[in-house]
Amino acid sequence: MPPRLLLRLHRIGLVAMAYLGIFYVLVNSAAFPLIAGRTRASQEAFGHSITVLGATFSWLLPLPMGADTAAGYLQWRGYGFMAIVFAAWGLISACGAVRRDEDRGLVESLLATGISRLRLLVSRSVFFAMLSAEIVFLAGAAGWVGCVIAGSPAEVSGLVGESAALWGLTLASFGIGLLVAQLAADFRSAAAAASLVGLLMFLLDSIGRSSIQRAPVTDISVFHLFNQSNAIAPRGTFDLAATLALFVVAATATVVASVAFVRRDIGAGLIRTRRRRAPDVHVPSSNPLLRTPVARGLWIHRLGALGWTAGMAVAAAAVVLLVNVTATFFASTPSLSPYLRGLPGSVHTVLLALIWLSFAQALVAIFAITVVSRWSNEDSSGVLEMQLAEPIPRWGLLGERAAELTVIVTVMSFVAMAVILALAPAEGIPLDVGRLLTATALLIPFGLTFAGVGALLAGWRPRAAVVVLSTITAISYFVFELGPLFKWPALADNLSVFQLYGTPLITPVFVGGLIAMLAIAVVGFGSAGVMLARRDVAA
């Protein structure tokens, strides 16, 4: 396959992981003196606090080692989190390389050129291996730069070893994703199955880390193999055997997936279910919702909306339990006060505001990007053309899209709020119901801000909409995270949509930020209408 085509097929993952990998590692290492203090005594006290805190979160991240240094802190918070993200990237990218391309008809088109199935799958795998290697080792270089900025350079050999382990984990996840994708019949079922497999592997390792007596069955997880190396931390080690095992898993899974890909039919999985033949239908559906504006879109996408709502509710429940576990420890550990950003109120409320609202904003932003991706695909797949032929005015179609997204974000947000209100009293978390209601309502214009920008991009350049919007979201998030640490002026902080949202659960509503978000949404959808009216569909 031409490298240009391969690069285009992986462009979204490339942009997202490059931003996340490089900037996340750089920030978590360079900002260490700002969090832990610049004196050795304060850093040792901070390291002791992180060690105790790490024991509490051993189900999520490996135990910290040498957390009183920038390198040890980077090992724990940086690469502990990066392992989860890169493994998920490998799984979903593999499903996309197999099933999404088949759903689009791209695989059939490529096979028609004379390329063999084996060569097609191997070329995708080799290109992903090269791409992920570049991102992983660039992130390692960013970690070294961050430690230099922090004043305590990390060992280059340790960064290289840990990067190799992370690369092995990414490739192992990609190989497992390729294998799982051969069993499913379409991209959605493949992605769901791969996500479940990834979650099970993570839970196996999590149970092993949290148990007093580790069961041998937990050692089969690829996360366990990755966590055998902690080479960045002082006195850390690089486990060559475990890292080689990750590459063996990747190679074995890829070979088995290649054999399955050669033997199965295109568009079908190895596991086939007998489908009942549905009778031919020659009359329009009698469902009145399909003839009602806004309601038809909600009905068509009801399963996805229910999934997002359930996911946000589960996240809300997990955060409430996490706050109760963490609050006492934060209250008794003054060295962790930088994490609270100097916000007023009880520790429970501040932690709920910081953790839950961060989760909620991230989920709403990701949901908006997902919806924009669907809008862009509808432009090239013929769906937009069919909608306009009903006929629906182009301005009316944009209005329906905005209203549909508003309804779904509203339901997601308020269902999650109901979960918090139901669980918080039992966990001893004091809540101001009025402020919680306000904070939840502000998630609606927050989501519309991203959707407005995405609608403009989808109306102007549909193919680039998702990449550009993801880039804007990533930059906005990093500005929000870096501003307080490096004490940037308020003007720079307000360039972030996350900053415009504010902290309404603790502080008064940022009226200027609310006006700015509404203005961005109105201008975005308005400009999208102008673009869509002047541009030919699928052009």
pLDDT in tens, 352-392: 887 888 889 989 998 998 898 888 878 776 777 787 777 78
Q: Which residue shows structure tokens 């690069």?
A: 7
Tell me the C-alpha distance between 497 and 512, whole Å.
Answer: 12
Cα distance between residue 409 and residue 97, in whole Å: 30
The pLDDT of residue 175 is 95
pLDDT at residue number 174? 95
Give CA separation, 102 vs 286, 290, 357, 448, in Å. Answer: 32, 29, 38, 32
For 258, the token pair is: 């290649």
Instruction: Give first-to-last CA distance, the chain, whole Å.
Output: 25
* φ and ψ of 307, to 5 deg: -65, -45
Q: Which burial class, exposed, middle or buried, applies to 39 when counting CB atoms under 10 A from its CB (0-12, 13-18, 19+)?
A: exposed
For the record, the structure tokens of 318 come out as 């997990």
Low-confidence residues of the chain: pLDDT under 50: none
Provide the token pair at 473. Answer: 């979201």
Closest CA to 269 of 178, 172, 197, 200: 178
Alpha helices (runs of H) in 382-510, residue ranges in sequence order: 383-388, 394-423, 433-441, 443-460, 465-486, 490-493, 497-501
CA dihedral over 93, 99, 101, 104, signed as positive or negative: negative
Please give the full DSSP string across 299-323, using - where no structure is assigned. HHTHHHHHHHHHHHHHHHHHHHHHH
What pLDDT score does 63 carry? 85
DSSP summary character for residue 99 = I
Dihedral (CA of 296, 300, 302, 304) sign? negative
3-state secondary structure of 505: coil
CA gap 422, 440 in Å, rounded: 15
Q: What is the pLDDT of residue 190?
A: 85
The whole-model pTM stands at 0.78
Query: How far is Cα 536 from Cα 343, in angstroms, rounded to an integer?
Result: 50
